[in-house]
Amino acid sequence: MPIRINQLDVTDDVSVKNTVQAILSETGRIDVLVNNAGYGLNGAFEDLAMDEIKAQYETNVFGLIRTTQSVLPIMRRQKSGIIVNISSGAGRFGFPGSSAYISTKFAVEGLSESMSYELEPFGIKVVLVEPGVIRTNFVTVVAKKSQDPNSPYSQIMQKTATVFENMMANASSSPDIVAKVVLNAVTNENPNLRYLAGKDVETWLDSKRNMSDEEFYKMMKQNLMK
């Protein structure tokens, strides 16, 4: 089957509505929605401007809400459909320097889990895919104030930036891993609510499950702020 690409801006109500309507007019149904739009905002929390935080939420959370609310009436009429929300391992635990991004992923986790109860009676499934560090051209924006060398958080941010740059450079997981997880979920008659994507995130969450909060905090601090 040929792939048709339609441009869509998840931060624009009209763009989302028009694109969904165009697909519905052509195909008569929508079976799968994969919410993958997102970017990272780096910076210590105190250095984040309100406009920067709002822009982060507009794409990562409200964009997902827009597209999902647009397709739900269609899926309800069909009595079927699956919504796949690309979250992150960062939706399950926090780390320094990315509080805005991480909080959007925590929001996606809670939103998705809550929706799953409401949508199940209509034959609609909700899936969370939680990747680790993936070799992609993922866009990361550095907060304006965080770029100031006089920021009180400058030293912390330099340390974490170096660690994350090394992690991205040495990432063993390719986008194919996430694609295969998504394909498995959407072709499964009874998909799980959550799927991990990547050995690194499996290791982190295994540590999270088996450590106390204090132990996990200490481990993350040693690894990310050394």
Which residues are designated catalytic?
A: 87, 101, 105
**Contact between 124 and 78 (Cβ < 8 Å):** no
Residue of 139, 144, 141, 140 lying closest to 48 (CA atoms) = 144
Sort strands 194-197 and 124-131 into parallel, antiparallel or unpaired. parallel
Which helix H or strand E contains 119, and what residues bound it?
helix 99-119
Please give the full DSSP string across 111-158, using - where no structure is assigned.
HHHHHHHHHGGGTEEEEEEEE-SB-S---EEEPTGGG-TTSTTHHHHH
